[in-house]
Structure 1
Amino acid sequence: MLTIFIKELNSYFSSLVAYITIVIFLTAMGLFLWLFPDTSILEYGYAGLDSLFNIAPYLFMFLIPAITMRSLAEEKKEGTFELLATKPLTDWQIVLGKYLAALALVIIAILPTGIYYYTVYHLGGVEGNIDSGAVIGSYIGLILLGGAYVAIGIFCSSITKNQIIAFTIAVFLSFFAFSGFDSISQLLALQKIDDIIINLGINHHYQAISRGVLDTRDLLYFLSVISIFLVLTKTILGGRKW
Structure 2
Amino acid sequence: MITILKKEINEFLDSLIAYVAIGIFLTGIGLLMWVFPDTNVLDYGYASMETLFSLAPYVFMFLIPAITMKAFAEEKRSGTIELLYTLPFRDIEIVIGKFLAGFLLVVFSVLPTLIYYFSLSYLGNPVGNIDTAGITGSYIGLILLGGIFTAIGILSSALTGNQIVSFILAAFLCFAFYAGFDSIASINVWLETSFIIEQIGILSHYETLSKGLIDLSDVIYFLSMIVLFLYLTKIILNVQKG
SS, match of residue 130 in structure 1: coil
Output aligned runs, 1:3-18, within 5 Å. 3-18=3-18
SS, match of residue 190 in structure 2: helix
| TM superposition shift of 1:201 | 1.0
Q: Which residue is equivalent to 1:221?
A: 221
SS, match of residue 213 in structure 1: coil
User: Could you list the runs of 4 or more consecutive aligned residues of structure 1 that deviate by over 4 angstroms after TM superposition?
Assistant: none
Question: For residues 191 and 41 of structure 2, what CA distance do their matches in structure 1 show?
Answer: 36
Question: For residues 236 and 217 of structure 1, what CA distance do their matches in structure 2 show?
Answer: 28
Residues 88-139 of structure 1: CA distance to partner in whole angstroms, max 9, x if unpaired? 1110110000000000000000001010101000001211110000111111
Residues 154-185 of structure 1: CA distance to partner in whole angstroms, max 9, x if unpaired? 00100111111111111111000000011101
Question: For residues 51 and 92 of structure 2, what CA distance do their matches in structure 1 show?
Answer: 37
Question: For residues 22 and 115 of structure 2, what CA distance do their matches in structure 1 show?
Answer: 14
| TM superposition shift of 1:190 | 1.2
Residues 28-74 of structure 1: CA distance to partner in whole angstroms, max 9, x if unpaired? 11101011111111111100100000000000001100111110011
Find out whether 1:181 has 2:210 as its counterpart.
no
Q: Which residue is equivalent to 2:30?
A: 30
Q: Which residue is equivalent to 1:210?
A: 210
Letter of the structure 2 residue corresponding to residue 124 of structure 1: G
Query: Sequence identity, in percent?
Result: 52
Question: For residues 92 and 192 of structure 1, what CA distance do their matches in structure 2 show?
Answer: 38
Question: For residues 131 and 191 of structure 2, what CA distance do their matches in structure 1 show?
Answer: 34
| TM superposition shift of 1:189 | 1.1
Q: Which residue is equivalent to 1:158?
A: 158
Over aligned residues, Cα RMSD in angstroms?
Answer: 0.9
Maintained 8 Å contact 1:33/1:52: yes
Question: For residues 128 and 187 of structure 2, what CA distance do their matches in structure 1 show?
Answer: 43
Maintained 8 Å contact 1:185/1:191: no
Question: For residues 58 and 49 of structure 2, what CA distance do their matches in structure 1 show?
Answer: 16
Find out whether 1:109 has 2:117 as its counterpart.
no
| TM superposition shift of 1:3 | 0.5
Matched length: 242
Q: Which residue is equivalent to 1:237?
A: 237
Output aligned runs, 1:68-79, within 5 Å. 68-79=68-79
Find out whether 1:50 has 2:50 as its counterpart.
yes
Unaligned runs of 5+ in 2: none
- TM-score, with length taken from structure 1: 0.98
Q: Which residue is equivalent to 2:199?
A: 199
Maintained 8 Å contact 1:95/1:234: yes
| TM superposition shift of 1:22 | 1.6
Maintained 8 Å contact 2:22/2:63: no
